Amino acid sequence: VNIAYTSERLKLHLDLAYYESPPGLQLLHALRYDATVQGERGVDFVHMRWGLRYEWQQVTAMFWSPPFEGVPTRIPAENLPAYYAAYRALDEIIQENVIEFKLKQGELVVFNQRR
């Protein structure tokens, strides 16, 4: 079962990232409104990446999927302190760039997830 079709709250993610060509434009349509349910959250990772690059010039690439990550076994032990420092910095920058919104019944938000 795809978690999108459940009542579970979705964490920040790139939708269908495992596809060869993930969808670009995404539409979230509120079929009903429930004032007791939390709103939606998103992050402009392109904007956020520039903040990370400014603070951590040595970062050249980023591959991150928190719900599915495990122990970083391919990183030499001597590089682990730098890895975790960058990891914490990334999480802090992400949290600073979270956009929260709540759609009412019938409203729609469109975004480009590959921007």
2 within some domain? no
Is 67 a member of any domain?
A: yes
Q: Is residue 42 part of a domain?
A: yes
Place of tokens 């590089």: 79
Residue 105 makes CB contacts below 8 A (sequence gap 6+) with 30, 31, 32, 33
Kindly state whether residue 3 falls inside one of the protein's structural domains.
no
Mean pLDDT by 10-residue block, N- to C-terminus, for the chain (115 residues)? Answer: 73 80 88 84 81 73 66 86 85 87 92 82
Q: Would you state the pLDDT for residue 62?
A: 67
pLDDT score, position 67: 61
The pLDDT, as a whole number, for residue 104 is 92
Quote the pLDDT of residue 65.
64
Domain membership of residue 108 (yes or no) is yes
Domain residue limits at 15? 9-112
Split into its structural domains, the chain has a count of 1
Per-residue model confidence (pLDDT) at position 64: 65
> Does residue 23 sit within a domain?
yes
pLDDT for 107 equals 94
State how far the Cα of 75 lies from the Cα of 112, in Å rounded to an integer. 32
Give strand ranges (E) for the chain: 25-29, 40-43, 98-101, 108-112
